[in-house]
Amino acid sequence: MAKTYRKYWDEELETAPREKIRAMQLAALKEMLDLVYNNSPYYKKSFDEHGVSPADLKTLEDLKKFPYINKYILRERQQAAPPFGDLVPVPEEELVYMSASSGSTGIPTASPFTLQDFEEWQDYEARLFWSSGMRPYDRYCHALQFTLFVGGPDVIGAQKVGALCVWAGTVPSERMLEILRQWQITVTWTTPSFAWYLGETAKAQGIDPQKDLFVRKIFVAGEPGGSIPETRQKIEELWGADLYDYYGLSDIFGACAGMCEAKDGLHWAEDHILIEVINPDTEEEVPEGERGELVLTSLKKRGRPLIRFRTGDIVSYTSEKCSCGRTHLRLHGIHGRLDDMLIIRGVNVFPSDIEVVVRKNPDLSGEFRLVITEEKHLAVLTVEAERAHEYSGDIRQLQERVITDCNKILGIRPRVNILEPGALPRATHKAKRVFDERKNNR
């Protein structure tokens, strides 16, 4: 394995000066606005109603004049003009592939691709995988859902890297462990909860993930954990592997951003998608480094371009150059979904904030859930966490420490219940951590 590989997938693009990236984005955006205005009935009508046209875009700042879209609009336009909706600006003959959202929050929405979209997307996935250190000598197990799911075809990106790919899909943990062991898989992709669960399951079966398996890199997405240092470290220690967080969105790409080997934020491929971060209430742009809602604009994908799409995901970002030399901006992580945000006595609380507290405390097992109840018309937050097996100290004192740690981060003192180890149910794929009892009582 003496061969050394190049550092970047596409050095010129990945290390381009910021001004050059901005110029590239402006040129691509102009073309995209022309395409949608002239060919999509929805965008034509919406731009006209807002009194804007592609000619109004002289700088990237001018994008602010254009209207937002969101998930409800996608769904509504799809129903108005089935099957793909009237945001699509290309003839059906050009479409070669579609994924669809799970529909967990309503009717599934489709994301169609042209052949060029599909090929560019896979090159982009290869670039992300390469930045996380995947190389042609790797054996990659794609443990993501294939049915309609936009993360399925990302496996082709790994093949483009030159890795040997095993298309596993979502299989039970025992079967997954067999696949990892038998084929000596070195890289895999799953959710943080499943990576943790799988590692624990292996140990329970007498398999040492560090000695008996060959996994050196784990890619995760779908939950905030991959960007929470405390969670990442726990999974890395369990596996003796590096963990890289990825971000994807069913309405655009499987993976839109991913961690490089520096593991200091998720690089965004700015040649494909332009991002804005806004205050969800005022819709004003928030300063770099502050939390706000992620808004995306497609720069290349012609199958169903999204112009100013409000994702509902809360993020923060930096445009500082990364120690890896890449200049494309980085998300500090996905703090949560707007839908998951709890408002407790006027304070915004994301489950990921509590996760930080619980995971960094060595006297807790790391499992937790949040229960919301109502007392005298006020929301009450209770954090349920388990003591670690090894902890035999005073439970009251542990409880008080957790309350103090939560207060430092959130500015409120939740109730805390310390349970016995193993008392909480273990999550497999996506963990449900919030139980809003108020909804059951209405």
Report the interface residues with Zn ion, using CB under 5 A: 260, 262, 322, 324, 326
Q: By the 8 A CB rule, do 11 and 130 touch?
A: no
Omega before 83 within 30 of 0, i.e. cis: yes
Compare residues 263 and 359 and give the one whose CB is closer to Zn ion.
Answer: 263
Kindly tell me which of 259 and 306 has the beta carbon lying closer to Zn ion: 259
Nearer to Zn ion, 232 or 326 (CB): 326
Pairing verdict, β 257-259 and 242-247: antiparallel
Residue 136 DSSP code = T
Distance of closest approach, residue 332 Cβ to Zn ion, in angstroms: 13
Minimal distance, residue 218 CB to Zn ion, in Å: 18
Helices (H) and strands (E) in the chain, counts: 12, 19
Strand partners, 369: 384
List the structure tokens of 84: 């793909």
Tell me whether residue 326 or residue 335 sits nearer to Zn ion (CB atom).
Answer: 326
Cα 403 from Cα 281, distance rounded (Å): 29
C-beta separation of 218 from 144 below 8 A: no
Residue 242 in tokens: 């590096």
Nearer to Zn ion, 103 or 229 (CB): 229
Closest C-alpha among 324, 190, 187, 171 to residue 242: 187
Q: How far is the CB of 243 from Zn ion (least distance, A)?
A: 15
Closest to Zn ion by CB, 302 vs 328, is 328
The DSSP call for residue 281 is: T
Q: Which is nearer to Zn ion, 197 or 268 (CB)?
A: 268
CB of 153 to Zn ion, least distance (A): 25
Closest separation in Å from C-beta 260 to Zn ion: 3
Residue 326 vs 433, nearer CB to Zn ion: 326
Least distance (Å) from Zn ion to the CB of residue 328?
8
Tell me the torsion sign for CA atoms 194, 199, 200, 204.
Answer: positive
- Judged by beta carbon, residue 15 or residue 70, the one nearer Zn ion is 15
Q: How far is the CB of 431 from Zn ion (least distance, A)?
A: 28
Q: Would you state the structure tokens that stand for residue 12, as one six-digit string? A: 């010129």
**Least distance from C-beta 211 to Zn ion, angstroms?**
31
CB of 233 to Zn ion, least distance (A): 19
Residue closer to Zn ion (CB basis): 63 or 260: 260
Where do we find the tokens 């905030």?
Answer: 224
Pick between residue 11 and residue 437 the one whose CB is nearest to Zn ion.
11
Distance in Å, CB of 311 to Zn ion, minimum: 22
Q: What is the DSSP letter of 283?
A: -
**What backbone phi and psi angles, to 5 degrees, belong to 258?**
-155, 160
Q: Which two tokens stand for residue 87?
A: 């945001």
Report the run of H or E that residue 18 belongs to, with start and end. helix 18-39
Residues 6+ apart with CB under 8 A from 289: 316, 317, 318, 332
Could you tell me the smallest distance in angstroms from the CB atom of residue 263 to Zn ion?
Answer: 8
Whole-number CA gyration radius for the chain = 23
Residues 6+ apart with CB under 8 A from 55: none
Question: Taking the mean position of all CA atoms in its chain, how far away is CA 412?
Answer: 27
Taken as a whole, the chain contains a residue count of: 442
Measured over all CA atoms, what is the biggest interatomic distance in the chain, rounded to whole angstroms?
A: 69
Give ∠ CA 335-364-389 in degrees, rounded to 5: 145
- Residue whose structure tokens are 């937790």: 368
